[in-house]
Amino acid sequence: MTHIIEQVQYKLKQDASENDLIDSSNRLNLWVKAQAGFLYRSLAKSSEGVWTDIVYWKDMESALNASKAFGSTPEGQAMMEFIDGSTVIMQHLEVMTQAANDNMQ
């Protein structure tokens, strides 16, 4: 079985705060964790202000189902309030090789 990485990169709207995005992302985590096929999610920011949301999924079907549902959820809509939609780049990537530390939390 091939795992899928969903990678979404974006910048914040000019009037959005990082704390607002992080709070919204933490609320979104509760929804994401309840989705079939969810494995892991993280949110990171580059020094240039580009945010990268990374979600590992069990398979492409799970990733696509969650992507479709995201925009209609209150959690997804709340998070999108802070994101500059013109900067969004989303892709689904097939994991070709992987390793994990047994102590990863």
Grouping H, G, I as helix, E, B as strand and the rest as coil, residue 52 is strand
Domain-located, residue 85:
yes
Query: Is 103 inside a domain boundary?
Result: no
CA atoms within 13 A on the CB side of 53: 23
pLDDT per residue over 87-96, tens digit each?
999 999 999 9
By residue range, what is the domain housing residue 68?
Answer: 4-94
Can you tell me the distance from the alpha carbon of 94 to that of 105, in angstroms, rounded to the nearest whole number?
23
pTM: 0.91
Tell me, yes or no, whether 105 lies in a domain: no
Cβ density class 82-94: b for 16+ within 10 Å, e for less: bbeeeeeeeeeee
pLDDT tens, position by position, 7-63: 999 999 999 999 999 999 999 999 999 999 999 999 999 999 999 999 999 999 999
- CATH code assigned at 69: 3.30.70.100
**How many structural domains are present in the chain?**
1
